[in-house]
Amino acid sequence: NAGVMQNPRHLVRRRGQEARLRCSPMKGHSHVYWYRQLPEEGLKFMVYLQKENIIDESGMPKERFSAEFPKEGPSILRIQQVVRGDSAAYFCASSPKGSGANVLTFGAGSRLTVL
Amino acid sequence: AQTVTQSQPEMSVQEAETVTLSCTYDTSESDYYLFWYKQPPSRQMILVIRQEAYKQQNATENRFSVNFQKAAKSFSLKISDSQLGDAAMYFCAYRVYSGAGSYQLTFGKGTKLSVIP
């Protein structure tokens, strides 16, 4: 059981470039969550997805950020035209259907650095 | 808005001793879940313990236990027989229902625990 796999672990981008972060949920899990951790802060909810559906994106910035979880393949968090304030650790978590986020398994995170 | 407050940015404990990390939260709900997560230097988020609000009995997991005071909205974590591997950031979290079948976790800012050999 490989757990929640995130890649890349570290990503460096220059201002204005695009960042793509990938997340493969744990085997048997159909729900994916993305959280962002700024330096010296706790994790903050961004978006909750099921296969081919965005269920809750209330924590996602309205511009430049998007997320998807296609029928096949990993979930993708995409940040367009990155700015220095996007530098953070981005965590993906997954849960089984019907668990109501009570059984979240987190990945190791992707650390984005914007130069 | 739901909030989670961890009033101790840093704590330290001697190896083999006991330490308590505090957490308070604000909610108008009567049924909810609370969590403690550990984040070691590897940055992996690891679930330590979970408490269901409707259960009066405090949750325990080996050396980890909680003191859940529902009326006071307090949820402290006690670590007994502290080990060097317990050194990490500890985050308290509250599960929020945000509508349309969606649940979110709201996290506190964390407490950095150091274990002194």
From chain A, pick out residues whose CB is under 8 angstroms from the CB of B21: none
Interface of B with A (CB under 8 A): 4, 33, 37, 42-47, 50, 91, 93, 95, 98-110
Task: Take residue B100 and report the two structure tokens written for it.
Answer: 């349309």
Residue A1, pLDDT > 60, answer: no
Q: B43 CA to chain A: closest CA distance, Å?
A: 6
Contact at 8 Å (CB) between B64 and B77? Answer: yes
Burial class (CB in 10 A: 0-12, 13-18, 19+), A113: middle
Query: What pLDDT sits at residue A100?
Result: 66
Task: Name the more confident of B10 and B30.
Answer: B10
Reported as a single tens digit per residue, the pLDDT across B47-76 is 999 999 888 889 999 999 999 999 999 999
Reported as a single tens digit per residue, the pLDDT across A92-109 is 999 987 766 677 899 999
Of A15-24, A53-62, B98-107, give the range with the top mean pLDDT: A15-24
CB-CB: which of A101, A108, A111 is closest to B103?
Answer: A101
B97 three-class SS: strand
Q: Do A59 and B104 touch (CB under 8 A)?
A: yes
Query: What pLDDT sits at residue B104?
Result: 86
Rounded to an integer, the average pLDDT of B80-102 is: 90
CB-CB: which of B33, B91, B107 is closest to A102?
Answer: B33
Q: A interface mutation test: which of B32, B43, B54 has the most A CBs within 10 A?
A: B43
C-alpha–C-alpha distance, residues A82 and B68, integer Å? 42
Contact at 8 Å (CB) between B25 and B75? Answer: yes
Q: B interface mutation test: which of A31, A45, A60, A92 has the most B CBs within 10 A?
A: A45
Query: What pLDDT sits at residue A74?
Result: 95
Contact at 8 Å (CB) between A83 and A15? Answer: yes
Rounded to an integer, the average pLDDT of A24-43 is: 91
